[in-house]
Structure 1
Amino acid sequence: MHTFFAPGLTAPIHTLPEDESKHAVRVLRLGLGDEVALLDGRGGRYHAAVADANPKRCELRIIRHEAMPPRPYFVHVAVAPTKNLDRLEWFVEKAVEIGVERITFLRCARSERRELKLDRLEKIAVSALKQSGQAWLPQLDEMTEYATFVAQAIPETTFIAHLEAGERTALAQVAGAGPGCCVLIGPEGDFTPGEITLALGRGIRPVTLGASRLRTETAALAAVFTVHIARQ
């Protein structure tokens, strides 16, 4: 069954935007009575049927609505974007498929990318939502200064994954408690000693994702996966 993203959906009739209407009618060849699935990104799953196969304004009649509750814990990753956008897009896609509530992009001292446009990443997140059947679209934050983010973080549920020497706890050992967690992932050159000190001074705890030195996007995805495993 074909799935469409329908933010702000209101029953009993939903009209697809022109680009999706054209895709539905001209490419997918959907006709009167054909059934589709709709996701509103806020926990709503809908079963619908084509009421008017107009390639400019395809109307869908809502048949059934299922409200999916949010996850009982949140997963938030704050990551320094990679210089190569393909790698960042890969992370966003896979994180949404696995399940993540929020992704914040950090501007760190060693960041390879200083600016970021969210338009394409948001489209990739929507595509991953439809492909995976997840009901909740994650929040994607604009690029945020590292110091600003750390100052606003909740220490009890925030962790920093860094590679500097010192005592660190495995994320899997601490991610299973509380309402969820936020994990900070640095750029390829890691966080600077000053950035680590700033986080620790706020009460943010240092964690490790294992013995391997991971690429930024791999570490960010590993953090998402680890939190889910810890909650099982």
Structure 2
Amino acid sequence: MNIITIDGPSGSGKGTLATKLAQHYQFQLLDSGAIYRLLGLSLAEQGLLNTLNGNIAEAVHVATHLDIEFIPSNAGILTYLNGQDVSKQIRQEDVGQFASKVAAVAPLRDALLARQRQFATLQGLVADGRDMGTVVFPQAQAKIYLTASVTSRAERRYKQLQAMGVDAKLSAILINIEERDRRDMEREVAPLKPATDAIIIDSSHLSIDTVFNQMCAYIDTKLI
């Protein structure tokens, strides 16, 4: 089974490129960041996010029973939670903060780990996240760590949210990304870092097509 992992910080272009790669190789697609956002959103709506330490068992139950569906479309991946399209909602900055809080709690990561691994099929998989190559799929044939400067990532997220009709401020996005980077890289459980056998690509000053071509050139040497 062929597995391609793309790890890296928020706003580096992982989602767009993972979608293009999944379409190119006709593989399944896993947006692990969306799964964490979905859990964060669900916990917030149920009033559990700010009381995780006292409600771990209940939060794990929610994680285990999330009803999630990813549907590819011309506009990207449509994300459904309990049958409702939450594609725009989970891309808001506050939900990104929810996801980062969830990712720092070991029992919740454990609860979502098996769910993520279920996405691997004989068809092949492109897995987009922060610990895909280091923790979830260490056996992956092709591992990519995609990064970019904080400024370029903030500008990309701002434009993305504008295009989705979501009101956002660039300065707030920049601060949120810096805080999230620090939290993701310094957490004790599965910190954000490149796998030792991953190729590292900095997309700060590269077009999507240029990065895509670099990825394909690398991946084609790794697939079995």
TM-score, length basis structure 1: 0.30
- Could you say which structure has the larger radius of gyration? 1
Greater length-normalized contact order (CA 8 Å, ≥ 6 residues apart): 2
TM-score, length basis structure 2: 0.31
Q: Which has the higher strand share?
A: 1
